Structure 1
Amino acid sequence: MSEMINNREKQELNQSQRQKLLKEIIKELHDGKNVDEVKERFQQAIDKVSVNEISQMEQALMIEEGISVEEVQRLCSVHTEVFKGSIEEIHSDEALGTKPGHPVHTFFKENREIDKFVNFKLSLHKDQYQRDQSDENKEKLFHDLTELLEIDNHYSRKENLLFPYLEKVGIFGPTKVMWGVDDKIRAAIKEARNQLNDDTCQLEELIANLEFIIEEVSEMVYKEENILLPMSMEKLTEDEWLKIEREGDVIGYTFIDLPEPWQPERANLLDQSFMKEGVVQLETGILSLDQLELMMNHLPIDITFIDENDVVRYFSHGKERIFHRTKSIIGRTVQNCHPPQSAHIVNALLDDFKSGKKDVEDFWINFHNKFVYIRYFAVRDKNGTYRGTVEFTQNIQPIQAITGEKRLMS
């Protein structure tokens, strides 16, 4: 009888109690408690934990407990290990009910290839190089790391297409944490490539970084398939998945061919015409919406505009944009369009514009064999009131090469 009562008590733990216990366990990890000890306590207290509870717990840690995004990122891998095997939604792509072409199906398909790549190919070449630092083994490893940079497509689709819709339904914590881990993986891959070509780098440092990459990429596969994607399937509508699928090609894919188009059984789910017929009367002219759209997209620069509330309202979409933009960012705050660790730079820039301290800020960087000039301008009305910020991005490498004069047509 006592055993039945104990079982019933465990089953009747309400959500508030479970959340309290989950936060206590993670805070104990935060304070340096032994993982195995915490894991044993967790397994004794709760048989199963849902992905929604993990999501709520991460947000509560940041909002209610004041633990930083960076610290939750550090704990992310640890608490994944604690919860592994206890999550209710241990799904396969088939169990999630998706068909080929659906974004979730595509994420799973990429993850199969990513997991195979890091745990077989990269791991094998790492071991070979650890035993013998020959030029041949070095070249294999460098080639692997260069290929693995393609993982940016997988992560970028997740961050720029999927995350905005989760944020619209109030899910912020997991997106910020996961984006931060993605960036650490990206940085580690680039660092490993540099280490291979650095004669002063110790072999132990390189191997440790490679093992970090393999472990973190593998953990991210697990987190996506057992936490992020099941939660997303529960929260997002079919219309939203269709919008995500339609824009996937803009960013690209990792280790797979272009997926076949996905069409839900329901017809006419989405109005594909993002423009309505009409004209825009400006102070110095009148343009049809079609003319205005064509003109903006033929400018030799990329334009993005955010309003006075930091919400992205528009971006031009010419044939060769320098930085990816997808329609899902429209209506999203600009802070949530950047990795968490760079949000403070965005806020500092906007604070200077809003206060009137600055009207313009310029940056220039080397990016994908381009020399990119990025200019930000505060937009003010005739009364000097701040109304937003416009970003101009241009590859000025061809301009830098100009010499002499050109007075005749080519």
Structure 2
Amino acid sequence: MSESINNREYRQKVLKQVITELHEGKTVEEVKGIFEAAFQGVSATEISEAEGALMAGGLPVEEIQRLCDVHAAVFKGSIEEIHQPTDQTQIPGHPANTLIRENRVIEKIIEKELRPYLKEDTKENLSNVANGLQKLSSIDVHYLRKENLIFPYMEKYGITAPPKVMWGVDDEIRDMIKELQNNLNNLEWVQIQEKAEEAITKITEMIFKEENILLPMLLETLTQDEWKKIAAESGELGYLVEKVPAWNPVEEYQPAVKEEKSQAGVITMPTGVFHLEELVRMLDTLPFDITFVDKNDVVKYFSQGPDRVFPRTKAVIGRNVSNCHPPASVHIVEQLVADFKSGKKDNEDFWIKMKDKYILIRYFAVRSEGGEFLGVLEVTQDIKPIQEITGEKRLVGPE
């Protein structure tokens, strides 16, 4: 046991050393020997654990991200021996199979739709490069599924470093493609070639990491039930490949991470679980007011945010919605509800000025999955601050 602990500590020190040298300007070729000596023959899972320990100790994810190219340079030719192929990657409809199929599509776009046209500076080639980049930008769908469906399951098992690092590289690839698309007509041909090849290299390395580091880790960790959930939700985000078949394995496993069961004070929804206080406080934190009227025209609920546009008291609960409006507008409300019930309308918007505020009032018909009318949702918001927004403010952008 002590030997194992010492090995982990030693490998973490090696990772820090490699990151430091990369930060100081050394190339991948210059540092990969140090990395290889410490990690040759070590599973991808153990390497991710070492990286996770460094992040837990305060090392920024951007620094860990520097290791991505070192991983690719060292493990080509060795990871295949560590992780033997599994049948799951050959099952049509299995998310692992779909990921691999999409990578072949990405490679085909690069080799057939982009790279051949980078050789010679002609007007026709420039147009073809633009088309190739447009097709390549669809890689975003592939990355979105990975980030929004696969990464959450990894995090449930405490595997946090690889998702953060890989997401950062995904964003770099997206930005490289977008930047080249936006500046294609303003760059010299040699600059187009260099930037395109740089993006292609980054994409190719990501394909390698997905199939030789990410997938083996997932196949070792996720249960069949979790893979099924990923497959079931993948269609909502879309695919790069056509005709992804439904995957319905006979054998089922209980998920290793148990969901909270329904109990007092717990509200179980199709997409998550709330404790009652969490749900109440979340609804009261929304930057707009909501009120729900049921199918019998009875007020059932309203949120209690700190800055309500219109006053509400608990006395309104159980009241007929027609009695909650001035006589001059009640006929409009009644007609709107009638249109919702009949299916003539699904929503209606109104907007009014109130002193220094500009109020948008929106009404939505709430229907069951089968289309049955369940009630009306009113959403009220002061949109003046939104109208005054200009420019951009990104979560991630130039410093």
Q: Indicate the TM-score class for this superposition, using the shorter chain for normalisation.
A: 0.5 to 0.7
Is contact 1:19–1:53 with CA below 8 Å preserved after alignment?
Answer: no
Q: Name the amino acid aligned to 1:132.
A: D
Corresponding residue for residue 69 of structure 1: 61
1:34 Cα deviation after fit: 4.5
Distance 1:317 1:210 in 2: 48
Give runs of aligned pairs for residues 241-260 of structure 1, distance below 5 A. 241-254=227-240, 256-260=241-245
Match of 1:225 among 207, 211, 217: 211
Corresponding residue for residue 102 of structure 1: 94
Distance 2:51 2:387 in 1: 34
Distance 1:364 1:92 in 2: 57
Corresponding residue for residue 41 of structure 1: 34
Structure 2 runs not aligned, ≥5 long = 260-268, 273-293, 302-313, 320-339, 350-365, 370-382, 391-399
Distance 1:190 1:172 in 2: 27
1:47 Cα deviation after fit: 3.1
1:275 Cα deviation after fit: 8.9
1:188 Cα deviation after fit: 1.4
1:93 Cα deviation after fit: 6.1
Q: 1:45 to 1:251 in 2, by over 3 A?
A: closer
- Per-residue deviation, residues 147-177 of structure 1 (Å, max 9, x unmatched): 1111111000001111111112212221111
Structure 2 residue 148 is the aligned partner of structure 1 residue 160? yes
Distance 2:160 2:192 in 1: 34
Corresponding residue for residue 105 of structure 2: 113
SS at match of 1:171: coil
- Per-residue deviation, residues 108-127 of structure 1 (Å, max 9, x unmatched): 11111212322443211122
Structure 2 residue 257 is the aligned partner of structure 1 residue 264? no
TM-score with structure 2 setting the length: 0.61
Is contact 1:92–1:225 with CA below 8 Å preserved after alignment?
Answer: no
Q: Name the amino acid aligned to 1:17.
A: Y
Q: Root-mean-square deviation (CA), in Å?
A: 4.0
Distance 1:225 1:72 in 2: 20
Distance 1:216 1:72 in 2: 16
Distance 2:23 2:88 in 1: 33
Corresponding residue for residue 140 of structure 1: 128
Q: Name the amino acid aligned to 1:156.
A: L
Corresponding residue for residue 22 of structure 2: 29
Is contact 2:94–2:247 with CA below 8 Å preserved after alignment?
Answer: yes
Q: 1:364 to 1:86 in 2, by over 3 A?
A: farther
1:146 Cα deviation after fit: 0.9
Q: 1:300 to 1:74 in 2, by over 3 A?
A: farther
Match of 1:17 among 10, 13, 24: 10
Distance 2:111 2:147 in 1: 24
- Per-residue deviation, residues 315-369 of structure 1 (Å, max 9, x unmatched): x9999xxxxxxxxxxxxxxxxxxxxxxxxxxxxxxxxxxxxxxx99748999xxx
SS at match of 1:265: coil
Is contact 1:93–1:105 with CA below 8 Å preserved after alignment?
Answer: no
Larger radius of gyration: 2
> What is the number of residues matched between the two proteins?
285
Match of 1:274 among 270, 273, 298: 270
> Higher relative contact order at CA 8 Å, sep ≥6: structure 1 or structure 2?
1
Report sequence identity in percent: 44
Is contact 2:19–2:66 with CA below 8 Å preserved after alignment?
Answer: no
Q: 1:93 to 1:192 in 2, by over 3 A?
A: farther
Q: Name the amino acid aligned to 2:246.
A: P
- Per-residue deviation, residues 224-272 of structure 1 (Å, max 9, x unmatched): 1111111112221211111110011101111x1031000112269799x
SS at match of 2:93: coil
